[in-house]
Structure 1
């Protein structure tokens, strides 16, 4: 029988996090069991219902039990018994904050813990100098901020407890160590790309389209892409900007686009088949990410590696893990953060030099095959699991 891994994500599962089941369902030597305190309305379309188990499955009003679990380490007895009955071998929590809750279960189940850090959980969450630790009053009046501050306060304990802390890029691994994780515990495992799934359809014709895919939030840098496109369309009015995704900045960005662009579309959130269709149609993808005012940064946007796999050159910023995938002048171009003039310049180079664009497309696919093949990432992850389970004593008993 295959060994079993609890995949802990407190909310199973936001639609924007399909990269988690993409990894879990590709495991070959292990079976993933999705565990959290609650699930979204569309969870069954994202993860197998017969391999998911939440606290909310056992109580009608889960709020009190959730707080007892998160603040006091009290695990609902039926939830605990059901988890024990699954005979899991280890816990893999996704995102640092979820690592805190995964740590609680790891202690009760006496299992080793692995945590994957992906971006904001290690770049944008810190107590400010002189800021006091979160209090009960913060919990009642600023619940969202309370849990972020609580996580930062407990992060050193998480670094001590976790057997390994995985960064989705070298950049994130460096940040994890910078924040206090012992270097020997910090490793890099890229999400990887399913090369069979993300493959360019040569029967389709590329169109004069610049594609953006991602949440419409500050760190994605869409404002600078729109300003760049205004300069591009002044020289090449046939080039259209297509944006896929949603977020709190959408109204502001649509207003900016209306004022400066001739051709653009905001398509909102779209399923993977639609995203792939646009990756087949577009000429270039832009990932103009920036460091937000809060310090929030990317890890390595999956859309960057997926686009390169689809033979779509990428113009990205010198930000977080993007330069680990995009090789300047070879698979696309890199610019400084917020440099919309450089983005415009590189876009025009690509549209005015189709032969060079095609060379970049081929080089991008080759880079993903060599460095970001999902099969290699899964093999590395499963080797990590097996290494942990082969250790004489993989769990240290902790008091609750």
Structure 2
């Protein structure tokens, strides 16, 4: 989590990051005051698979048989490098369960307490297989403390057999000084989706909702910002629905471009089938953009009736009605926009989130 690392440094915490390597990236470098180590895990370098798809490790695991072999070498290299570089640190803060396992394996060398934050797929998908469930429980049991980005994930962790008092809820933050509302005059007739184009993001249902939306709001366009294995089938679905001219697939976008799109859009939609939290919703809310999202998992922590609309997953008709509700009444839209920004600043500002992590670090060290 680059944003977390930067936020920690702003609060005076020295941060050293062990990250996943990709072909072409340096093994060692610095971004500002943040030291970054990316250990190689396969040779030749061009065959490294684990970051090949934007949909993350679950997509790579299913698509590339070699990736299943590389998981072991990745794990061992990260355990070795973490053990080495953590020796001069106070706490190891792992950002998913695989990294937490590597940190725990090397604890006999680095002697640091291990905190793990779980975000989604490592808790929602991996434990579906009995071996995955057992390994996840084993890793979490070895960690000194666990934070989950939503109450839904906290509940899932406890269901795995982890003691409830060891699991705290600390959501993903947003830089509210960067993600800001734009003036109303800059708003355009845009419906925006941001995320990986994978099945569990539910983009197909958003496309299927668009004909109903366009029948009421023909001047609107749908912008899909993201890439992934479903892009070809989604483009074909747009053609089949007769809406391809009203849908723009703009591909993967930088964070700055995403912010601009959110400031221009009238509504941000996240029709996921499962979601650990939905960080894009928090970013949209910080921009004063109302949201429509599926009533699943951690999304229910983020979206209240004051900031947008929750709908049933995999239901294009209900999704279309939710989007129409946000767009139809200008007065209600302004209320959503104002409340969205207020909620993002009050609950998801990094200046609120980071002190909670610092308090956890201090409790582990002290």
Tell me the TM-score range normalised by the shorter chain. Answer: 0.7 to 0.9
Is residue 2:60 matched to residue 1:75? no
Of 297, 302, 312, the residue aligned with 1:320 is 297
Secondary structure of residue in 2 paired with 1:197: coil
1:265/1:110 CA distance change after superposition, 3 Å: same
Is residue 2:334 matched to residue 1:351? no
1:68 and 1:75 in contact (8 A); partners too:
no
Find the counterpart in structure 2 of residue 378 from structure 1. 354
Give a deviation string over 1:223-264, Cα, whole Å, max 9, x none. 111111111112221110000001111111111112211411
Q: Which runs of 5+ in 2 are unaligned?
A: 49-68
Give a deviation string over 1:281-304, Cα, whole Å, max 9, x none. 1100101111xxxxxx31111100
Is residue 2:247 matched to residue 1:264? yes
1:91 and 1:106 in contact (8 A); partners too:
no
How high is the TM-score relative to the length of structure 2?
A: 0.84
Find the counterpart in structure 1 of residue 170 from structure 2. 189
1:80/1:97 CA distance change after superposition, 3 Å: closer
Find the counterpart in structure 1 of residue 61 from structure 2. none
Shift of 1:65: 11
1:32/1:157 CA distance change after superposition, 3 Å: same
Structure 1: how far apart are the matches of 2:238 and 2:284?
24
Shift of 1:211: 0.3
Structure 1: how far apart are the matches of 2:318 and 2:182?
30
2:268 and 2:289 in contact (8 A); partners too:
yes
1:169 and 1:299 in contact (8 A); partners too:
yes
Structure 1: how far apart are the matches of 2:97 and 2:208?
34
Structure 2: how far apart are the matches of 1:95 and 1:47?
22
Find the counterpart in structure 2 of residue 253 from structure 1. 234
Highest Rg: 1 or 2?
1
Structure 1: how far apart are the matches of 2:211 and 2:29?
39
1:209 and 1:239 in contact (8 A); partners too:
yes
Structure 2: how far apart are the matches of 1:45 and 1:216?
30
Is residue 2:343 matched to residue 1:367? yes
Find the counterpart in structure 2 of residue 298 from structure 1. 275
Find the counterpart in structure 2 of residue 340 from structure 1. 316
Structure 2: how far apart are the matches of 1:275 and 1:42?
23
Structure 1: how far apart are the matches of 2:325 and 2:97?
40
Structure 2: how far apart are the matches of 1:351 and 1:26?
34
Give a deviation string over 1:156-195, Cα, whole Å, max 9, x none. 3322221111101111111111112111110011111111
Is residue 2:120 matched to residue 1:119? yes
Is residue 2:181 matched to residue 1:200? yes
Structure 1: how far apart are the matches of 2:157 and 2:266?
35
Find the counterpart in structure 1 of residue 18 from structure 2. 35
Shift of 1:82: 5.3
Find the counterpart in structure 2 of residue 3 from structure 1. none
1:289/1:68 CA distance change after superposition, 3 Å: closer
Structure 1: how far apart are the matches of 2:239 and 2:78?
51
2:268 and 2:291 in contact (8 A); partners too:
yes
1:318 and 1:336 in contact (8 A); partners too:
yes
Structure 2: how far apart are the matches of 1:100 and 1:176?
15
Find the counterpart in structure 2 of residue 51 from structure 1. 35
Is residue 2:108 matched to residue 1:107? yes
Secondary structure of residue in 1 paired with 2:106: helix
Q: Which runs of 5+ in 1 are unaligned?
A: 1-19, 134-148, 291-296, 391-400
Structure 1: how far apart are the matches of 2:72 and 2:314?
41
Structure 2: how far apart are the matches of 1:193 and 1:54?
25
Is residue 2:192 matched to residue 1:211? yes
Structure 1: how far apart are the matches of 2:209 and 2:19?
42
Shift of 1:203: 6.7
Find the counterpart in structure 1 of residue 55 from structure 2. none
How many residues align? The count is 339
Shift of 1:66: 8.7
Shift of 1:105: 2.3
Structure 2: how far apart are the matches of 1:66 and 1:217?
21
Give a deviation string over 1:301-332, Cα, whole Å, max 9, x none. 1100010110100001101111211112x211
How high is the TM-score relative to the length of structure 1?
A: 0.78
In terms of fraction of residues, the more helix-rich structure is 2
